[in-house]
Structure 1
C-alpha cells in the first residue's frame, strides 16, 4: 500500500514508520522539514496548517491510507478533510485518552462514552496560541474528531491512545521525574484520591497503529494494554530498579505529579479486541519499559 504519514517521526511515530516499511508498504512522510524523514521513505515538506502549501506538496499524489499523527485542532482537521478529499480512501488520526477528560466513570469507558455528534466545534478559538493549545489538548483532539465524524470524502478512524511508556527516546521526562524523587526520598505530590489509568507500551502502540492503517474499520477505537496502573504501581517498579524510597504527599489543591489522577482514566479496549487485535498485559512490559527510559537517563 501507499501510505502517507503526517508528522510523527519521533517516538512511536518513528516505530510505526519502521513497521510499515518492514511490511513492504511504500511510505511517504510530510512534515515541516525540521526533522529528517526516516531512511526508506519519500519526504515531502509543508506546514500542515498552511492549506495551500499542504496541497502543493501533496500535488497529484494519491494514497491508500493517510495516518495523521499531528492533528490537534478542528482547524487542522478541516484543512485535512479538504486537501485529502479524492486523494485517499482511508484516513487514520492519532487521538488520545484525553478526549474523555469530562468522563469520570468507575468502569472503563468505551468509545461511545463520547458522542462526537454532540461536540461543539469552534474553529475561532485561539488554536494557534501554543499555551491555549497545550491547556486545551483534549478539547482540540475532541473537536478534531468531531470534524471528521461529521462527514468526509474518505473512510475515517481515530486511535485513542492511552498514556505511553517505554523507550530510550521517551522525551516527556515523566519517568525521570519519579526516579529523581524516589532516589532522593523527596515527596511525590498526588491527589488525595489517586485513580488508576490505562497505559500502553511504546512498541505496542506502534504495532497497533500499523494494524489500524492496514485495517478497514471506521470510527474511534481505544488503544491500550490490559491492566490499569496506579502511581504506586509505577513507583514500586522504579524503586526496585533505582533504590531510594517512595514518599507520597497527598494534596487537595495544586499541581500533582504526572501519572497521578484525581478521576478515573481507564478505557476499555473491547472494540479493538472484537476487531481482532490482541493487547498485552501491562505486567508483561512495565519493568522493561521503565528500564529502557531510565537507562537512557543515566547515559545522558
Structure 2
C-alpha cells in the first residue's frame, strides 16, 4: 500500500513509519522536518497551522492516511478535507480521553463522550474525531490510552528507567499486583496497518493486567542493571504526602475509580480486530536500548508537562 502519515518522525508516527516500511509499504510522511526522518520514507514538509502549510499535500494519492495530530482539531479537518477523494482510508490516532471521565464502570467504545466544548486535550481529540467527517470516506478512530515504547517523548517510561538505573532505595507505588493497561506504539502501528478500510472506534490498549506495577518495575530494574532496591509503599501514604499520581509517579494510579477508568477498559473489540500486544519485557528492554543509544537527553514534547518525582520528596517518603 501507499501510506501517508501526517507526522511520522516523532513517537507514534515514527513507530508507524518503521512498521509500514518493514511490511513493504511505500511510506510518505508529512511534518515540519524538526526531527530526523525515518530512513526509507519520502518526506513532505509543511506546517499545518500556517496559511498554505499543506501545499505539499496538494497532489498525490494514497491507499491510506494516518493522522497522529493531538492539538487543535481544525488542523485535522483541514487535512481531511484536502485529502478527500485522494485516499482510500483515514485513520485518526485519538485517545480514550474522549470519554466522559468516570462515566461508566466498564469503559467500552459506546461509553458517554466528553463535552464537545471541553477546552483541553480531551476536547481537542473529540473535536478531531468529528473533524474527520470532511474526509467523506471510511474513517477509523484508534482511541489509545497509555502509549509506551522506544522514542516515547512524554517521558513516563523513560523516567522510571533512568530512576531505576540510578539505583539505591527506590519508591515503588503499590500494590505490586496493580493491573496496568497500555499499548506499545509499535503494536498500535501494526493494528492501524492491519485495519486499513475498517471504520469505527476502537479502544487500542492491552487487556487489563497485561502487566502490573510489579512486573513493570521488576523488569525495568533488571533491564537497567538491577541497581534499585524497590521499596513498595502503600498508596495512602503516598497520597498523604501530596504526591500526584500519573505525573509525579508516571503510569501509576492508586486503586479506585480513576485507576479502573484508565486501566480496566474493555478492549474486546480491538482484540477481535487483530490487536496483539508484545510482552512487557520487550517494551521495557527496547526502550532502554533506545535511551542508552542517545548522545544526550531523550526528546521531550513541549506541549506536555515534565513528569517524575523530585528526589527530596522520594527521600522523605522512604524514611521509616
Q: Is 1:251 the counterpart of 2:239 in the alignment?
A: yes
2:201 corresponds, among 203, 220, 223, to 220
- What displacement does 1:44 show? 1.0
Aligned counterparts of 1:51 and 1:218: Cα–Cα separation in 2: 31
TM-score by length of 1: 0.78
Question: What corresponds to 2:283 in structure 1?
Answer: 289
Gaps of 5+ in 2: 295-320
1:120 corresponds, among 116, 120, 129, to 116
Question: What corresponds to 1:5 in structure 2?
Answer: 5
- What displacement does 1:221 show? 1.0
Task: Determine helix, strand or coil for the equivalent of 1:19.
Answer: helix
Gaps of 5+ in 1: 126-135
Question: What corresponds to 1:34 in structure 2?
Answer: 34
Aligned counterparts of 2:49 and 2:123: Cα–Cα separation in 1: 18
Aligned counterparts of 1:144 and 1:76: Cα–Cα separation in 2: 8
TM-score by length of 2: 0.73
Q: Is 1:138 the counterpart of 2:125 in the alignment?
A: no
Task: Determine helix, strand or coil for the equivalent of 1:246.
Answer: strand
Task: Determine helix, strand or coil for the equivalent of 2:139.
Answer: strand
Checking the alignment, whether the CA contact within 8 Å between 1:119 and 1:146 is kept in structure 2 is: no
- What displacement does 1:294 show? 3.2
Aligned counterparts of 1:74 and 1:95: Cα–Cα separation in 2: 11
Question: What corresponds to 1:162 in structure 2?
Answer: 145
Checking the alignment, whether the CA contact within 8 Å between 1:121 and 1:146 is kept in structure 2 is: no
Q: How does 1:98-117 map to 2 (within 5 A)?
A: 98-100=97-99, 102-103=101-102, 105-107=104-106, 109-115=107-113
Mark the CA change 1:180 to 1:158 in structure 2 (over 3 Å): closer, same or farther. same
Aligned counterparts of 2:102 and 2:22: Cα–Cα separation in 1: 38
Coordinate RMSD, CA, aligned: 3.0
Aligned counterparts of 1:86 and 1:254: Cα–Cα separation in 2: 50
- What displacement does 1:177 show? 2.9
Question: What corresponds to 1:173 in structure 2?
Answer: 155
- What displacement does 1:191 show? 9.0
Aligned counterparts of 1:203 and 1:287: Cα–Cα separation in 2: 14
- What displacement does 1:255 show? 2.0
Question: What corresponds to 1:57 in structure 2?
Answer: 56
Report Cα offsets for 1:102-134 as digits up to 9, x if no partner: 136443x1111144xx74247xx5xxxxxxxxx
Aligned counterparts of 1:259 and 1:185: Cα–Cα separation in 2: 20
- What displacement does 1:143 show? 2.2
